[in-house]
Chains A and B, each alone.
Chain A
């Protein structure tokens, strides 16, 4: 289990991606894919992140990112990729 999906939802504000990316870089997590849209001022981002080189535990990572989101006033979720592949891929 080395890939995580990070989603950010909320009102657009300066520095959302910067804050998230800084955290990932500080913890040796590599971004493999990133997509982002802004619809009517609402920020919607999804990242696929490889964390195989990181020493941070998955649960801890989810908690840290959630806190970063709270500080920015957006909702950040970080989930193992498996829940999505299980549900949407046969």
Chain B
């Protein structure tokens, strides 16, 4: 029988250490909506999303109430729209109509984000995929809840440098079109290498083509819980440290597994995966940076940061896989800047640079995330940063991503405010030297030698 000590421990995690289920994300395949008529396609997409997800928000809230744990976000991911709209969208503007349909459907069912305005172009772009990519800035500027992602490379295929070049320009354009709102369009746009098909976290969620018709994926969080657990083992050796992280990750993931199973049962939608990520929020005590500092760094960015993050990421996975039979998505520690008060502090005190963050992305679960850079950064430089990240992902067989916000009209040292979960960020300096000639070469970077496993 459950003891009062165990009950108190769980409730302390929820109340004081901000344990929550970060998101229940329903993946919906839109492949059966394909139509040669654009209006009919939009109609079918709207109907399928609303019919599939009409009870999602209410069910999430009910489960949260019964278990006494906050379920922060209820979201939807859909099949990459470049595939769905391919047969009838002839121009970027045609694709924008689908973005508006997604936005309308998201508002109707009450989810706060809908992901999947995406293209998977790791080896090359079709005409439709190019058009979708070109439409992203306008789509993000004219919708509120649509999130977009583009996969530009993978370990199996190499990196599509034409897409990388294009994405640099798209990021700049997305910033320009939303300059009256601190370029927030870019906060809803992720460029991936090795994008997972079942990621429940925004802005990079989409419903992969390998998935079934509908699926429930759940993302758990809990940096505060790990931080508090580590406070109890200050000064202990690495074995104790790792064991503590693992045990905590196990407990956190079990909650995610429970919620995922329950949501799947009540919505009558198959359960997909639990994504056991440590996802920080701007709230005090909900920070991955705080964990790294608790491990023994004076500030994130100090020598030792990459090793500490590698250890954290690995132990989170090890604890999590025992807790759920189906683990997927990104699973690990996120290191966004604007969404993590500890990271913001480290940037402000001059301890953390983009270069160090890049090193950290070799061992974290995603990549350069929510980093504000000067608005006058050239598109080719952004493409260069995307190429660097994609190369790290390709060579290390891991997911990497870039979500940079070149804030129009602002420079290094200024602060940009996105609000809500997206937080705020000091604008960070970017290396001034050009990589234009590199980016302009065109073509593909071949797949690495260790990808040939057949």
Binary contact readout B64-77 vs A (1 if CB under 8 angstroms, 0 otherwise) = 01111100000000
Q: How far is the CB of B255 from chain A (nearest CB, A)?
A: 6
Task: Determine which of B7, B69, B255 lies in contact with A7 in the assembled complex, contact meaning CB atoms within 8 Å.
Answer: B7
Query: Is A84 within 8 A of B66, CB to CB?
Result: no
Binary contact readout A42-83 vs B (1 if CB under 8 angstroms, 0 otherwise) = 001010100000000011001100000000000001111111
Query: Is B7 within 8 A of A86, CB to CB?
Result: no
Number of cross-chain contacts by CB at 8 Å: 62
Q: How far is the CB of B13 from chain A (nearest CB, A)?
A: 9
B6 proximal to A (CB < 8 A) = yes
Q: Which residue of B lies closest to A7 (CB)?
A: B7
A40 proximal to B (CB < 8 A) = no
Size band of the A side of the interface?
20 to 34
Q: Which residue of B lies closest to A3 (CB)?
A: B2
B232 proximal to A (CB < 8 A) = no
B side interface size, CB within 8 A: 20
Within 8 A of B (CB), among A1-28: 1, 5, 7
Q: How far is the CB of B143 from chain A (nearest CB, A)?
A: 33
Given A7-B7, A84-B6, A86-B257, does the pair A33, B1 have CB atoms closer than 8 Å?
yes
Given A5-B7, A7-B11, does the pair A84, B65 have CB atoms closer than 8 Å?
no
Compute how far the CA of A35 lies from the CA of B4 in the bound complex, rounded to whole angstroms: 8
B345 proximal to A (CB < 8 A) = no
Interface pairs A-B: 8 shortest CB-CB:
A79-B68, A46-B4, A86-B258, A83-B67, A59-B65, A88-B6, A86-B254, A84-B2
Residues of B within 8 A of A (CB): 1-2, 4, 6-11, 62, 65-69, 251, 254-255, 257-258
Provide 15 A-B residue pairs closer than 8 Å at the C-beta atoms, listed in order of the A residue. Answer: A5-B2, A46-B4, A48-B2, A63-B65, A78-B68, A82-B67, A83-B67, A83-B258, A84-B7, A84-B10, A86-B255, A86-B257, A87-B251, A88-B2, A88-B10
